[in-house]
Amino acid sequence: IRQPVIVVAKDLFPSDTVKMDPKYIKGIITEEGGVTSHVSIMAKNYGIPVLTGVSGILDQVEDGLTICMDAKCGTIVVEPEQAVLEAYERLSEEEAIEQENIKKYRALEPVTPQGKRISLCINVGNTEEMKLALDKNVDGVGLFRTEFLYMENSHFPTEEEQFAVYKEAATLCPKEVTIRTLDIGGDKSLPYYEFEPEENPFLGWRAIRISLDMPEMFETQLRAILRASVFGHIRIMFPMLISVEELLEAKQIVAKCKNKLRQEGIPFDEGIEIGMMMETPASVLLAEEFAKEADFFSIGTNDLTQYILAVDRGNKKIASRYDSFHPAVWKAIETIIQAGHKYKCKVGMCGELAGDVAAIPKLLELGLDEFSMSAGTVDYARRAIIGKVI
Ligand code: PEP
Ligand code: MG
């Protein structure tokens, strides 16, 4: 793609979106997918409007047509009349003004009306996204999704290749950079590795399960992260844990990597924090046990919602049932925050709910310490945390 377009597709996988140059993508419309599918998240990171679950759109469009879309209202007009086109252009201008206005909040600290200083962070998939967000005055990266580094490659990235990326991330952002170890599987595949087809990929071989089953690959990543940790403030985070034994095993592998580095005389941050995503029902039920072992929690509401409610996050047929405001999800969030605080384990959230201004007041009330989100929503979240209009 070498000119500005709206991309219309049946579905887009993370491996498709990583190949697109975001500066030419003015919008994305897919027939499949949901609001927390990875295409939506990627698009949000770049500020690209996206509409998913639009049944039948491919029958109504063809290459070269003009399309107007409004991702806030969920409207699409194919081949609009002049007056409609002008109305959408006005909307677009108004949105640009609103985006300019909201920038004035950037100078303010994210402190609640009760005086609590909140940590406000961004989620990124690569260092390019970090560079785009450098002017947003955030407290760091609450989620670095390292799977994109693996997906954009033609081979498992080597220790040196990974080290270069994590070092760049740590240097770009001297504040916290939370690096999540490989979260592949589910809807994320690798072009150079054949995954056996699975009946239920989201319940299958993914994330920490793969890392623990492929220790060499896991150690390569951990060594790269540890080596980069002397260049800034890096934290390690594991995805998709369901048992304390998994956390202990993963921590043991980190300890082994640290030992080897010590023997080789390679420096790393001895006090590097190790935390975990809270995104499975098992992790909620065992939150207190996990809190004794983890330095921090980050609630992954995208997966937590799908697993608590047994509703696939990418299935458009049940998209209306995928509801992060469901009381069961909020009960889980409350349980996690209370368990974390009981054992002095800081609790953040890096699922999409963290950037939802409708959720922020309640999350603050529950005591959430850190909010991490797509860069495009940070300014709005800051305003919601401060709780007043300036
Ligand atoms: C989550 O599940 O909420 C999350 C942040 O991770 P991902 O969206 O990458 O699965
Ligand atoms: Mg997840």
Instruction: Note the pTM of the prediction, 2 decimals.
Output: 0.91
For the purposes of burial, counting CB atoms within 10 Å of the CB of 295, is it exposed (0-12), middle (13-18) or buried (19 or more)?
middle
Q: Residue 156 has what pLDDT?
A: 97
* Any ligand 1 atom below 6 A from CB of 351: yes
Q: Which two tokens stand for residue 7?
A: 């991309």
Residue 38 has pLDDT above 80, yes or no: no
Q: Is 187 in the pocket of ligand 1 (CB under 6 A)?
A: no
Residue 298: CB within 6 Å of ligand 1? Answer: no
Name which residue sits closest to atom 10 of ligand 1, judged by CA: 303
Q: 362 alpha carbon to ligand 1 midpoint, in Å?
A: 20
Q: How far apart are CA 230 and CA 282, in angstroms?
A: 34
Calpha distance 111→100 (Å, rounded): 22
Q: What is the token pair recorded at 227?
A: 């080596």
pLDDT for the residue numbered 17: 72
Q: Does the beta carbon of 189 sit less than 6 angstroms from any atom of ligand 1?
A: no
Cα of 238 from ligand 2 centre, angstroms: 10
Instruction: Give mean pLDDT, residues 140-161.
Output: 95
- CA 333–ligand 1 middle distance (angstroms): 15
CA of 297 to the centre of ligand 2 (A): 13
Counting atoms of ligand 1 from 1, which one is nearest the CA of 239? 6
Provide the pLDDT for residue 15.
67
Active site residues: 38, 350
Q: CA separation (Å) from 318 to 32, 33, 93, 198, 373?
A: 11, 10, 34, 21, 24
Residues with Cβ within 8 Å of 112's Cβ and at least 6 positions away in sequence, in order, are 118, 364, 385, 386, 387
Of ligand 1's listed atoms, the one at least distance from the Cα of 123 is 5
- What pLDDT score was predicted for residue 326? 98
Distance in angstroms (rounded) separating the CA atoms of residues 287 and 304: 13
pLDDT tens sequence across 204-222: 999 999 999 999 999 999 9
- Report residue 16 as tokens: 């498709």
pLDDT at 19: 76
Token pair recorded at residue 202: 């989201």
Q: How far apart are CA 179 and CA 319, in angstroms?
A: 29
What mean pLDDT do residues 135-158 have?
94
pLDDT for 322: 95
Quickly state the pLDDT bin for 41 (edges 50, 70, 90).
Answer: confident
Q: Say if CB 384 and CB 357 are below 8 A apart.
A: yes
Q: Is the CB of 44 under 6 A from ligand 1?
A: no
Using DSSP's 3-state secondary structure scheme, residue 270 falls into coil
